[in-house]
Amino acid sequence: MEYKSLIGSKGSKANEETIWDLRIEELINDILGNDKNQFLIDVFKEPLIDKNAIDFRLKIFNDLMDEKIYNAIKNFVNKIKDCNRLMDLEAKTYEEFKYGFHLDAALIYVNALDSSLNLMRELNIKSDGMLYFVNYLENLIQSDRFQALKRITYEAKTGRDKIKVRININGDRIRVAKEENGEDLTSKIEQLFSKFKGQQVRELKLVSYYEQITHIHAAILKGVYRIFKEEFNIMKKLKDVFPDIVDEGIKSFAKEFEFYIKYIEYMKSIQSNGYKFSIPQFTEDGSVHIKGFYNLLLARKNIAVANDIHTTGDKRVFIITGINGGGKTTFAITFGQLAFLSSIGLPIPAEEAKICLFSNIMTAFPIEEDKLENLSRLEQDVVRVHNILKTADNKTLVIVNELFSSTTSEEGFELAKRFIDKITSKGSYLVYVTFISKIAAVENVISLVAQIQDEKPTFKFIESNHISKYMAIQIASKHRLLYEDIKSDLG
Amino acid sequence: MIQFDLLKLSDGPEIEDKNNLKKDLELEKIIEIIAQKDDLVVKLWNHVLLLSKADIYSIKYRQEAVKDAIQNRDTVLNMYKFTGAVINRTIRAAFIVTYDNPESIVYDTANGIRVMIDAFKDLKDILDRSSFSSEAFRELIGSIKENIDDNFIVSSNELMGFLDIRSGTEFSVRLGMNNTLSDPVFLTHKKESSVMKRIISRKNDYVFRLDPRDERGAEILGSINKWVLSSLAPTMLKAYEHLLQFFTTLHTQLAFFVGAINLYDFFKKTELPLAYPDFSEGTISFRDLYCLSLAISINEKPVPNSLDLHNINAFIISGINKGGKTTFLKAIGQAILLARAGLFVPANNLIIPSSGTVLTHFQRGEERTLSYGKFEEETIRFRKIIESLKAGDYVLMNESFSTTNQVEASVVARQVVSALIDSKITVFYVTFLQDFIYDFIKDNKNKAVLLTPERLKDGTRTFKLVQGFVQSGYALEIWDKYFMKN
């Protein structure tokens, strides 16, 4: 039976500008931690456009969000990793020790496969990816090769457990002999002085690690093997007959499963701060209904504020306005990350997420002065918009931040209106962050306004047409007259 | 199991506010007399006097032992000296410098253990010649006789004999993970019955020698030695420290009686009366109680006080300055602390209502300014005291709440003191807060008394406190005395 990838189809790399603007790099670093595994970085940077390919991964995640399934598989993978590590060490060690490493690698492997299969059979696994693997594992275990490996491994282990020697070190002479009833000095001393009850003694600061694998130890081991010939021969046979222990398919599985482990561990750390994740559902009618989505990097610090975003699909342009420092850019980036993560096939940081599958995410954020090349800032903005409009279609998400801000607000407003018109005619989705509040009043857009309370931003965004009446909102909030207040009071 | 406890001290914590207490009651002076420059006695007595808990059973137990120790003063002083010397010799013989080398831990502690095993013989001789009668000392003697017999001494010496660095390291091992050596067990050396047997049994052994040029190999052998000994080291250290703890515990507990003997000598020298206190709920009764710290300062007997009251919880002390009010407060506090320790007190008799602890809230000279900031600090400190109080405790207040005007302060004081006495706390309060004194005494006729410095008819001060009475309209009378005269 052939092994099939747990990652499924591969995506294609997102464009660098989007990755930069949406701080995807930073997010991946946060997810992967110190692990700079290029294979994983690539998977996280390659969005999929095929819904089935995304579903393949999401269904695996859905399985793994069941704690029992996750722990069982993770445990299995960790054992395979241990086994690989021992095999690596075996290659570098003294001849006498190779037999020991080989035996332990085999023990871990045999135990991992045996115990995991039984466990996995009892789990409520539903995803194609995992189900296929369980089948693969079952076939592997039933193979003659595995059964033979198992038999000889246990035989070697039984032999090793029998070994006990008496060693005498005196000056430069080492004597290894069969152990015959010696008396344990430690327990005799313990017993004799036990009549002195005392308090906790001083903590010994003994080094817990003594070198265990040296040429002297190897020489002692050689003596041990001489004395216990029979036991040694079985270990040797194990190594000669099964030089490679781990099956290639199992190796690939362990490597690919890391993608799921990393993200689930990340989710757990975020969830421990009280935030939720959900498996995105992809809509066909162009509607978007996301409840309680939040920024992962802020959730890590426990300071993320959740927001909602909705559209039936008729209106696809969101104008984000509000006071400076009110969280406009964060809102836009957060939504962009959400869309990005969903196209990688990952559970996303939201309470509930119905979203359309974007085939492409494009961004236009302010460019630093020295990267402007030869064009004026305004001209550069126009060029970018032009490029965006060239490729945008009704599956495209465009996120722009303070575009057309290097001109009068009257002109900026005019440019924005034109851009919005064009985007609307292509049926693309647009998140437009601006301080020109008039833009929120153009037709066919959804206006989202940053909220304030007691003259401080709440980082909440609410659909509203009352753009400039910040104080009125504040007062309304004080008297519990905002949308959410009334709704919850009436609900 | 060797078991003894000459003191039966509570293992609870020391009084939270102990530094203020020590200062307010001049405990340093008393401890100086008790310790006679012995640091261990200083340390122990600082602890005993400041314990937050003491029960009457253990106090009586100590009283009996103190009497016994004074009777057997030479034996007690001799044992104290001997145990101190054993501890010193042991520490010098073991000379443990670091706790990270199992090899030196094993061999060093063996040296120390040998010294202590020898010392047991002499300790038993001293005890054999003693004539203690108290429960505390009899239990000690009984436990030592029962546990440290000749058999124990022979076995100890035999086991220590195996720990000779010259006979090498002999141990058993198994094979663990990756075939590394594991579970080392240090073995007693095998005694082969005959040379022939030895030769036969060694025929199949595998023997190799280190190449003389292999410096690294020698290092590794050393580390294998340490590895084996590291399983023995904790046991050796435990045996060593537990044996040593026996001597240090005994030595430390004897330090209590050494202190008691020292104080006894001071009492005799200054001719202070000596009484072993008693406890009786609802009673405060003493005859000729002296302030010990004042006696130490002036090296003679100061003016004593006497009192005999029942069911009184609040002692409000007021009146002219330099009339002995603060001295009275100190005398009371010191006597209660000595009583709790199980010691005698400088009085002809003393009965107190409980074995609770003493807490002090003294206003000090430098704090005598009026401000709300200061007042807040005072209340914060009082809050802390309240948090550590329990029923049966004593609170000594010296001009508390005098950092704000007396009208406000009186209201606070009244609330505080009323609450304390209703919670089974005994309060001694030196105060000038007139509103408080008047209202409080009037409200609590059955629970509170007013004490004022005695003045004889000719106006002389006796520095004794006597029961006083609040007189309503006294100020008006004085007014009238001058203004209505004509």
B61-95 pLDDT per residue, tens: 999 999 999 999 999 999 999 999 999 999 999 99
Nearest-5° Cα angle at B90, B89 to B94: 120
In the predicted model, is pLDDT for residue A491 greater than 90? no
Give me the half-sphere count of Cα atoms (radius 13 Å) on the Cβ side of residue B301: 16
In the predicted model, is pLDDT for residue A474 greater than 50? no
In the predicted model, is pLDDT for residue B403 greater than 90? no
Q: Which of A166, A223, A351 has the alpha carbon at shortest distance from B201?
A: A166
In angstroms, the CA B378 to CA B381 distance is 5
Chain B residues with CB inside 8 Å of A198's CB? 238, 241-242, 245-246
Q: Torsion angle, CA of B335/B336/B338/B340, rounded to 10 degrees?
A: 160
Paired with B361 in beta bridges are B397
Q: What is the DSSP track for A409-429?
A: HHHHHHHHHHHHHHHHHHT-E
Residues 6+ apart with CB under 8 A from A292: A276, A306, A307, A308, A350, A351, A352
Region of poorest pLDDT, from A62-66, A258-262, A384-388 = A384-388
Nearest residue in A to B224, CA atom: A210
Nearest residue in B to A93, CA atom: B178
Residues in chain B, total:
486
The minimum CA-CA distance between B185 and chain A, rounded to whole Å, is: 6
In angstroms, the CA A98 to CA A236 distance is 9
pLDDT at A158: 97
Which of B108, B181, B206, B238 is best to mutate for the A interface (most A CBs within 10 A)? B206
Contacting A residues, span 193-232, partner chain B, CB-CB under 8 Å: 193-199, 201-207, 210-217, 219-224, 226-227
**Strand B283-289 relative to strand B349-352, pairing:** antiparallel
Alpha helices in B319-471 (DSSP H): 325-341, 372-388, 406-421, 434-443
Alpha helices in B95-147 (DSSP H): 102-128, 135-147
Mean pLDDT: which of A154-158, B154-158, B384-388 is highest?
A154-158
Which of A101, A186, A191, A213 is best to mutate for the B interface (most B CBs within 10 A)? A186
pLDDT tens sequence across B98-135: 888 898 999 999 999 999 999 998 999 999 899 999 99
Secondary structure element (H or E) that encloses residue A125, with its range: none
Q: Which of B145, B110, B136 has the alpha carbon at shortest distance from B243?
A: B110
Chain B residues with CB inside 8 Å of A207's CB? 100
pLDDT at B464: 81
pLDDT at B332: 97
Contacting A residues, span 32-91, partner chain B, CB-CB under 8 Å: 86, 89
In angstroms, the CA A99 to CA B100 distance is 33
- Mean pLDDT over residues B198-209, rounded? 79
Look-up of token digits 């595998």: B206
**Interface membership of A171 toward B (CB under 8 Å):** yes
In angstroms, the CA B251 to CA A468 distance is 83
Which of A111, A193, A229 is best to mutate for the B interface (most B CBs within 10 A)? A193
pLDDT tens sequence across A372-421: 555 666 777 888 888 899 899 999 999 999 887 766 656 778 888 889 99
Secondary structure element (H or E) that encloses residue A402, with its range: none
Contact A202 B231 (CB under 8 A): no
Nearest residue in A to B167, CA atom: A170
pLDDT tens sequence across A106-162: 999 999 999 999 899 899 999 999 999 999 999 999 999 999 999 999 999 999 999
The minimum CA-CA distance between B254 and chain A, rounded to whole Å, is: 18
Q: Which band of pLDDT confidence, cut at 50, 70 and 90, is reported for residue B386?
A: confident
Contact A185 B159 (CB under 8 A): yes
DSSP state of A203: P
Contact B181 A212 (CB under 8 A): yes
The minimum CA-CA distance between A101 and chain B, rounded to whole Å, is: 4
A230 burial via Cβ count (<10 Å: 0-12, 13-18, 19+):
exposed
The minimum CA-CA distance between B406 and chain A, rounded to whole Å, is: 44
The minimum CA-CA distance between B23 and chain A, rounded to whole Å, is: 33
Contact A189 B217 (CB under 8 A): no
Give me the half-sphere count of Cα atoms (radius 13 Å) on the Cβ side of residue A446: 19
**Contacts of B85-92 spanning 24+ positions with Cβ under 8 A:** B86/B115, B86/B116, B86/B119, B86/B123, B86/B247, B87/B244, B87/B247, B87/B248, B87/B251, B89/B115, B89/B119, B90/B115, B90/B116, B90/B119, B90/B244, B90/B247, B91/B244
DSSP state of B363: -
Chain B residues with CB inside 8 Å of A178's CB? 204
Q: Indicate the residue of B162, B207, B227 with minimum beta-carbon distance to A173.
A: B207
Nearest residue in B to A197, CA atom: B242
In angstroms, the CA A146 to CA A247 distance is 9
Predicted ipTM of the assembly: 0.77
In the predicted model, is pLDDT for residue B191 greater than 80? no
Q: Which is it for the CA torsion A326, A328, A330, A331, positive or negative? A: positive
In angstroms, the CA B248 to CA B87 distance is 7
Q: Indicate the residue of A171, A182, A201 with minimum beta-carbon distance to B237.
A: A201
Paired with A290 in beta bridges are A309, A353
A69 burial via Cβ count (<10 Å: 0-12, 13-18, 19+):
buried
Nearest residue in A to B206, CA atom: A176
pLDDT tens sequence across B10-66: 888 999 889 999 999 999 999 999 999 999 999 999 999 999 999 999 999 999 999
